A and B are shown apart, each in its own frame.
Chain A
Amino acid sequence: MDESMLCTKTHEYVLEKDSAYDVGITDYAINQLGDIVFVELPEIDSTFSKNEVFATIESVKAASEIYMPISGKVIAVNEDIVNSPELLNDENYADKWLIKIESNADQVEFADLLDYSDYKEEVE
């Protein structure tokens, strides 16, 4: 995990990259879900506000809704993950982002996000 990511208490992360943001779920969340068997991602160009559901991830046991850590517009979706959801469980696979977004989020939207180290402390 990239230490500079910011996390939600609902286990999503956002990571600034080349003037856009990667959004995904934390390694802790993946571990808690167990075998991931289905991932549904939004369409490119769709927009979401902070805390809005943008994706669904299903493990063998249950479906989980995934929330936007900050507001933004989808500019890319990880089709590899959609086609092979089990890649999220693969420890040797690195590209686990779900969507890339453009965002004009202000400081208020970032205020309740946790540094990765604080998040780790929170969940462990």
Chain B
Amino acid sequence: MTKQTFLHDKHVQLGARMVDFAGWDMPVQYKSIIEEHKNVRENVGLFDVSHMGEIFVEGVDALKFLNFLVPQDLTKLSDSKAVYCQLTNKHGGLIDDLIIYKLHDNKYFIIANASRVDEDINWMSLFKTGYNVEIRNESHNYSMVAVQGPKACDLIVHMGIKNLPPFFSIKEETFCGYNVLLSRTGYTGEDGVEIVAKNEYITCIWDKLLSEGKAYGIMPIGLGARDTLRLEASLHLYGNDLDENTTPIEAGLSWSVSKDKKENYNGKDVIMRQLQNGVDKKLFGLKMLDKGIARHGYDVYYNNNKIGTITSGGISPMRGDNIALAYLKNDLGLTIGSNVQVMIRDKFYNAEIVDRPFVKKRNKV
């Protein structure tokens, strides 16, 4: 049975087309994916992301426990700060990618992918023995909306939050009269916030954001535009670009991995070896030179040899061309400017390796 968020009726009233996503009945678009995409880049967009998982990890060993599960060094995380993390397995492959927030000593909050939250809980529980820690999946109690775009923060300030948390930080706030967690994060490459609230508050918050946001050009945004926005920003999608057989180093996430972390963690030997010696396959950004759209699963060729696979691909509404992420063999000397071919419906289409992100991010404040 597909699950519904507490905003489901709102989406239907707004005329959204609903689709199944990770077991949730979610809006894929309200009017037009392209229009919604551009509105997030130019004004502000409102997303229902209540399908995502909310996990609390509490206890005197919370830091030691979590630090064993991720390649990031959580000992360096101060109160109210967030860090982009990966849950790694013994081989360095990814159980999930997530954001870990330190609320305060001994209390951490995690946002996980909807499709992986149950797996995450199972995985974390496997390593719980010996740690004085409690893992609570609170996904069923919380809803979340994202407000993203160049005017997002102006809107939130206008609605009474005078001091926004800095980039990748979280604050307990009173918003629209309700207690919420307000986080300066997102999945679009734009500045903005994500607001986590108890389920019963979320429809009020949604309505208020839409009515107060009118003056800022707000639009509700579906998962279709969420996907094209994150692709332009070259943000990975678990299940497409990340999986249990892909390490953070192969995924181009070395920047997020601690190079000098003393403590052991799952997959550390593999990850450190790859940092030192390099990787056999690596994530590259492509732009199509020929008129064709590369999509998930299409094969990539170089000198008539198959060298990899597209993991995400589509149109870039802002660039006006077609872009993709692909895992390619790393021993061919491929670099920015190299030409490769994507097999689309049994025909070769030329593509060029380009720098990522495809569109400049504007959220580092």
Residues of A within 8 A of B (CB): 32, 34-35, 37-38, 40, 56, 58, 60-63, 89
Contacts and interface: CB of A to CB of B under 8 A. Distances in A.
Contacts of B28: 34, 61
B293 A37 contact: yes
A52 to B, nearest CB: 14
A58 B294 CA distance: 11
B295 A60 contact: no
A34 B295 contact: no
Interface in B73-98: none
Given A34-B17, A34-B32, A37-B293, A61 B224 contact: yes
Interface in B333-359: 345
A38 B291 contact: yes
B270 interface: no
A43 to B, nearest CB: 13
Contact of A60 (B17, B33, B292, B345): B33
A90 to B, nearest CB: 12
A34 B292 contact: no
A34 B29 contact: yes
B315 interface: yes
Nearest to A32: B17
Contacts of A56: 345
Contact of B34 (A32, A35, A40, A63): A35
Contacts of A89: 32
12 contacts: A32-B17, A34-B17, A34-B28, A34-B29, A34-B32, A35-B32, A35-B33, A37-B34, A38-B291, A58-B293, A61-B28, A62-B295
A32 to B, nearest CB: 8
A38 B292 contact: yes
Contacts of A38: 291-293
A106 to B, nearest CB: 30
Contacts of B34: 35, 37, 60
Interface in B281-297: 291-293, 295
